[in-house]
Structure 1
């Protein structure tokens, strides 16, 4: 350990405004402090408290390494810590801690976040299990909303477990500790060495145990383990069963939750077992999980659950006066106040065509800007005003999706591409068949970013069959995109 490594102490002031008050917790890689937030230095008025997270340079694991290994491990931890700050800065959801600031203090990396005053789910389950069904579903729905937001970017958490889910004093659920989270971009830096499995024993997906590349559906499996425990009071494969625990996660199908908890609906039974499928492609997406769970969640006006718990996770969903978490995360790529034609007059097709030309030029340059944002804000309006069949409507939607994809908002892009194929291309002439295949290939690129290889394989195979029946000019254009997607798919298939 470095003899001069900074050690946080009560009273220290970080960034000239955050005064450390008391330690909240310490793990192998980081420690978290409660801090007072002062608007103008130490003498200024105090605002709400915040959480300050420091990267640890003094952990026992680091002290056991030789100097060269320790230097290498510190470099990895520093890089992970910076990436966690970058990810939190890009995630905007009430179920994920908001990042206020980040930097270094006496050479120690830190980040300042919204403080979640409450209890972690591990403690909550230990105190209140078995939970009333409504309480279990309220926790699951709120956590799923936050994870669906992360997956839209896409980001995989990789360490979902009860200790990394908080319930604040008002009952709101917050997913914390994105310390080993990873962007699912092809160019994302890999900080995990082979032979090193990240995550927590008992909540690892089969592909994590096999040291394969994680996808968004890795989180679905890990959260499936948590959801099972919410419903039944026990994980699908209890930690006490030391013998063969890894083999159980790799090969054994757990019993339905209803075996251990009366009253679990058949649809929830089926959903949990699908979340725990051994093959990632057989699991639902987090969006599908959220969609299926929401109708079962408590609603405004429902009675509070019995027995009561404190905090009460059903409160944000059943009490109208409390602000409810949004069901869908607004895309950070398209501000809600993006300029668009005023609502007081009908859209002018020539004006919209000129806007698309400017947006397409921005996208071709690799720098989506104001015109792209305006197009993204017009998708619903052009469809409502002109219907789904007009080419200009398809052009607006396609341009909006291309912009989202370039900005790495692959979830929004994939949804728009899917709508175009399902609702906006009705004819079956050569031009329409070529466009349908191109849109499916672009959607496949979005799914590749989530690690969904099966969608890409199907799109590439279908595009090849379609190209064979097209006129030469249309076939050549489609084939160029098909080869590009196939190349990226091949690279993913080669990634262990």
Structure 2
């Protein structure tokens, strides 16, 4: 396949790695005359034998998730240049990163200096903090997905790719295995529960344990055996292996590896604050050589060895004119029709204040614009911005039509979804539970039960995420009984529920 040109532009050169679902190549960007990295994914292998509709849906999600991840700007993240489909493949074009992946870096330095471990983790915290603010959950943080560059900077790879393959956090691959690597998988992820920033923090704990001790905390001959150990066994404190590791660092690793997400640090920012006192102060020494991850702290913002780059001149920001509401609405419709969601979001956010000034906050045109704005923010993955808009819409609609109104409930349901995506499982759980009785009442009076079943399923997965495994199992078993009675045993929903319940038993049993 070397020499193949992707999308009429990217000529594949050398394969860097491959797995069951795709390959990574170095490639040549013929238009800009530069080297890039190209990841190829086979949607039929990811979606499994579920028909063309599932493959088409995966393609759509892939482009959407790549667009969302491309918006995250941080020096610790690999830059996304392009994404799309070419023949049977999905492709993601990324910045080519020089250096060594962390797995090779660790293998070449035994034992890995604990100061390097702290420097790697601190840099990861900075990148994860930017990622989680979007919010995006990496889902597959491991040494092979991290690069140590010649200047010691750590770069996160594959941002969003695991999210693309598993954007519904409950979905398993057709082989019955959740997306991710068992050795780095948090208990809630292993059980098929909802994931969030806390899931990446657990993987960071595994990574730190491996850097400090030379091995992951939980290993085994089978994936299920490893997942069972994540769920039930305590990790070995690293100071029992390397006494020179500072006690505060050992304590932090154990907190990151807490089985219950609520017992882990609250954020990547909090983890960084615990690591900061252990970082080498600026100017206290010289890096040991290339690929020293303490270098960014010893010599912050210094040029790379043997490299001097000149940044481009800053461009002045354009001056925004007062928006024409009618013209802007027409432009938004056109942009949405073309799939240019990010631009549509910016225009909608800009015209809402002008529309409120012209027509009044409670006017139908402002309500419609706000509803479109919230929906477009969600479609663009901007859940943090969508949440207050949805809450405002829900409150206004409830005053007008009551709490049981279909549109009121839809706004609240969407708000719960935002909370779940933002990594706030307890708040999402409370919101889903608050709206469920209204949907159950509608179901009892003869309406379609699909939304009621969906909310009960989300509640089950969120119970897994907050560590209440017994309640989650009871919830999912009751839902399985009701869905089999409604749809029959071979409908996709009861089939998925049985698979999930079986998986819980397998993981528990090891």
The alignment yields a C-alpha RMSD, in angstroms, of: 4.9
For structure 1, which runs of at least 5 residues remain unmatched after alignment? 1-7, 41-45, 325-335, 341-361, 377-401, 416-441, 462-487
Offset of residue 131 of structure 1: 1.4
Q: Deviations over 1:165-198 (max 9, x none)?
A: 111222221121232226999x889575694322
Give the secondary-structure state (helix, strand or coil) at the position aligned to 2:180.
coil
Corresponding residue of 1:37: 29
Change (3 A) 1:112 1:236: same
- Of 268, 276, 290 in structure 2, the residue corresponding to residue 286 of structure 1 is 268
Report the counterpart of residue 40 of structure 2 in structure 1.
54
Specify which structure has the higher proportion of helix: 2
Which residue, 311, 319, 332 being the options, matches 2:291? 311
Can you list the C-alpha shifts for 1:110-165, whole angstroms capped at 9, x where unaligned? 22110112221111111113211221111111122222222111111221221111
| Structure-2 separation of matches of 1:213 and 1:369 | 30
Q: State how far apart, in whole Å, the 2-side matches of 1:109 and 1:459 are.
A: 36
Question: Which residue is 1:156 aligned to?
Answer: 137
User: Are residues 409 and 301 of structure 1, via their aligned partners in 2, closer, same or farther at CA, if it must alter by over 3 Å?
Assistant: farther
Does structure 2 conserve the Cα–Cα contact (< 8 Å) formed by 1:139 and 1:313? yes
Residues 360-379 of structure 1 mapped to structure 2, 5 A cutoff: 369=346
Distance 1:24 1:79 in 2: 26
Aligned partners of 2:172 and 2:179 also within 8 Å = no
Q: What residue is the counterpart of 1:131 in the other structure?
A: 112
Whether 1:300 and 2:282 are equivalent positions in the alignment is yes
Measure, in 1, the Cα distance between the counterparts of 2:6 and 2:349. Answer: 39
Which residue, out of 181, 194, 198, partners 1:213? 194
1:97 counterpart (54, 78, 83): 78
Q: Match for 2:13 among 9, 17, 21?
A: 21
What is the rounded CA distance, in whole Å, between the counterparts of 2:224 and 2:189 in structure 1? 19
- Summarize the Cα distance change of 1:304–1:410 in structure 2 as closer, same or farther, 3 Å threshold: farther
Q: Residue 300 of structure 2: which of 316, 320, 323 is its match?
A: 320
Distance 1:409 1:57 in 2: 25
8 Å Cα contact 1:224-1:275 kept in structure 2: yes
Q: Deviation at 1:206?
A: 1.0
Q: How many residues align?
A: 375
SS in 1 for 2:162: coil
- 2:236 paired with 1:255: yes
Aligned to 1:9: 2
Which of 191, 210, 217 lines up with 1:229 in the alignment? 210
Find out whether 1:264 has 2:249 as its counterpart: no
Q: Is 1:493 paired with 2:465?
A: no
Deviates more, 1:446-455 or 1:130-139: 446-455
Q: Is the 8 A contact 2:119 2:279 kept in 1?
A: yes
**Alignment TM-score, normalising by the size of structure 2:** 0.60
Residue 232 of structure 1 contacts residue 260 of structure 1 at CA under 8 Å; is this kept in 2?
yes
Residues 218-227 or 165-174, more deviating: 165-174
Residue 453 (str. 1) matches residue 406 (str. 2): no
Q: 1:276 to 1:99 in 2, by over 3 A?
A: same
Deviation of 1:237 (Å): 2.0
Asked if the contact 1:281–1:452 (Cα under 8 Å) also holds between the matched residues in 2, the reply is no
Q: Secondary structure at the match of 2:141?
A: coil
- Indicate how the Cα distance of structure 1 residues 304 and 35 shifts in structure 2: closer, same or farther if over 3 A, else same: same
TM-score by length of 1: 0.61
- Work out the CA distance in 2 between the residues paired with 1:53 and 1:183: 13
**Alpha-carbon distance, 1:25 to partner:** 1.8
Q: 1:226 to 1:21 in 2, by over 3 A?
A: same
2: CA distance, partners of 1:129 / 1:292: 25
SS at match of 2:459: helix
CA distance in 2, matches of 1:309, 1:489: 54
Matches within 5 A, 1:111-190: 111-177=92-158, 178-181=160-163
1:185-204 pair list within 5 angstroms? 192=173, 195-204=176-185
| DSSP-derived class of the 2:161 partner | coil
Distance 2:386 2:273 in 1: 19
Aligned to 1:389: none
**Equivalent residues in 2 for 1:355-434, closer than 5 Å:** 369=346, 409=382
Aligned residue in 1 for 2:358: none
Structure 2 residue aligned with 1:356: none
